[in-house]
Structure 1
Amino acid sequence: MRSDLTARARIRDAALARFGADGVAGTSVRAVAADAGVSAALVLHHFGSKDGLRQACDEYALEGVDSEADLAEVLQAATPVRRYLARSLLDGTESASALFDSIVARTESWLAKGEAEGWVRPGSDARARAVTYVAWLLAPLVLSGHVGRHLGGDPAETSVAVRGAVAGLEMLTHGLFADDRFLSAFKGVGDG
C-alpha cells in the first residue's frame, strides 16, 4: 500500500514513474516531489541530486533482475520498472550504458550458473549469448508502440509482457527452427 512506503521509497517510486514517462532529462525534482507528495528539499535530502535519484532507480531496477521472489509478484510490481528501463536505455547517456552493461553482466553470470546446473545449453560465445538474450528481453519495451499494436496493449503492462514472454520462452525452450540451415549459413559467413 502506497501509504505504507517510507518517504524515500515513495520518492523513488514517483521517480520511476515520472522518468519512465518523461525521461530523466524531461523530469524535474519538483515534479517528482509533487508526485510523491513531498517537498523538493526532501527529495534532495534523501538523494542529493536528480542524478542520485536516477542512480537509486537504476539500483532498484537491477534488484528486480536479481530477484528470487515469486514470479507473479515480480511481474505485477515491475510495470513502472519496465517503463523506466525502456526510457532510460533510450537516453544514450553514460548511466544508460552502465545500466545495460550491468544487466548483461548479471545475465551472463545467471546463464553460466544455469549451464553449470544443466538447465541452460552450452553455447559457443557466452558474452554474445547474454547480450542477445538481454536485447531480446528489452526490445519489446524499447519498441513498445509497435509491439503493443500487435500484442494488444502496452508491453510494460503485465498481461502483455507475459504474452510476449511465453512466446519467447517457447522459442528458447523448444527452438524455433526444425533444422540448422540458418545457423549453418551464418556460421559460413563468419568463417569466410
Structure 2
Amino acid sequence: MSSVSDLTARARIRDAALARFGADGIAGTSVRAVAADAGVSPGLVLHHFGSKDGLRQACDDHVLDSIRSGGEEGADALAEVLQAATPVRRYLARAFLDGSSGASALFTEIVDRTEAWLIDGEREGWVRSSDDSRARAVVYVSWLLAPLVLGDHVGRLLGGDPAETATAVRGAKAGLEILTNGLFADDRWLSAYTAINDEERSK
C-alpha cells in the first residue's frame, strides 16, 4: 500500500512533467529534467511511472480526469479547459501538436460532452437548432481550442500568451460575441455552402 509521502511525490512528479511536457514537448523532455523540476531522483520517477511514456500517460489521464470531473453538471466542457490552470492549457496545446492517444481521447471526449451540452441547449431554448449536431460540436471545439494550438501567432497578435487566463478569456469572449450576436448581415455564404453540402451528400 502506498504511503501518503509516496502519493505526494507521485503527484509532484506528475505536475512537474505536466509543466515540462507543455514547455518542451514529449520528445524534448527527459526523465532527468522532470526529476530535477520535482526535486526527486530519476530513479524515483521510474519507480512511480516506469518510463517516460508511462509518465506521459499519467499526464494524459490526469487531464482527462480533470475534464470529466470539473465544472457543474451540464457545464460547457470548453469552459472547463479555459478555466483550467495554465500548465494544463500548455500541456493540452503541446499534446494536440505532438499527438498522443491521450490527446485523441481528450479531444473526442470534449466533443462528445460539448455536443450533448449544445443539444440540451436546443431543448432549453438558448441554442439554435442544427441539422448536423456532430459537425457543429466538432467545429465549435476546434474553434475554441485553436488559440492554444496556434499559441505563438495568437499571442503575437493579442499581446499575451493564450495559455494565460487573461488572453484565453479575451479570445473566448470575442468568439462568443460572434456566436451570440452573429457576424454576417445576410445568408449569402450560408446559402452557398448549404448548396455545396447538399450536392456533395447527393453523390
Q: TM-score, normalised by structure 2?
A: 0.81
Choose 136-145 or 50-59, whichever is displaced more: 50-59
Query: Could you tell me which amino acid in structure 1 is paired with residue 43 of structure 2?
Result: A
Choose 30-39 or 49-58, whichever is displaced more: 49-58
CA distance in 2, matches of 1:113, 1:63: 23
Report whether the alignment pairs 1:116 with 2:123.
yes
Shift, 1:44, TM fit: 2.3
Shift, 1:102, TM fit: 2.7
Shift, 1:11, TM fit: 1.3
Shift, 1:74, TM fit: 7.5
Distance 1:117 1:81, change over 3 A: same
- Work out which of the residue numbers 90, 94, 99 in structure 1 matches 2:106: 99
Shift, 1:183, TM fit: 0.9
* Structure 1: 5+ residue stretches without partners: none
What's 1:178 paired with? Answer: 185
* Structure 2: 5+ residue stretches without partners: 1-6
CA contact (8 A) 1:11 1:43 kept: yes
Choose 49-58 or 83-92, whichever is displaced more: 49-58
1:16-165 aligned at under 5 Å gives the runs 16-66=18-68, 67-68=70-71, 77-165=84-172
CA contact (8 A) 1:114 1:120 kept: yes
Shift, 1:123, TM fit: 1.3
Shift, 1:78, TM fit: 1.9
Q: TM-score, normalised by structure 1?
A: 0.85
CA contact (8 A) 1:62 1:103 kept: no
Distance 1:68 1:76, change over 3 A: closer
Distance 1:132 1:145, change over 3 A: same
- Indicate the SS of the match to 2:10: helix
CA distance in 1, matches of 2:37, 2:57: 19
CA distance in 1, matches of 2:50, 2:120: 37
The superposition leaves residues 92-146 of structure 1 with CA deviations (integer Å, 9 ceiling, x where unpaired) of 3444333322322232233333333333322111211111111111111111111
Shift, 1:75, TM fit: 5.2
CA contact (8 A) 1:20 1:88 kept: yes
Distance 1:98 1:170, change over 3 A: same
Q: Percent identity?
A: 75
Choose 39-48 or 145-154, whichever is displaced more: 39-48
Q: RMSD of aligned C-alpha atoms?
A: 2.6
CA distance in 2, matches of 1:119, 1:40: 52
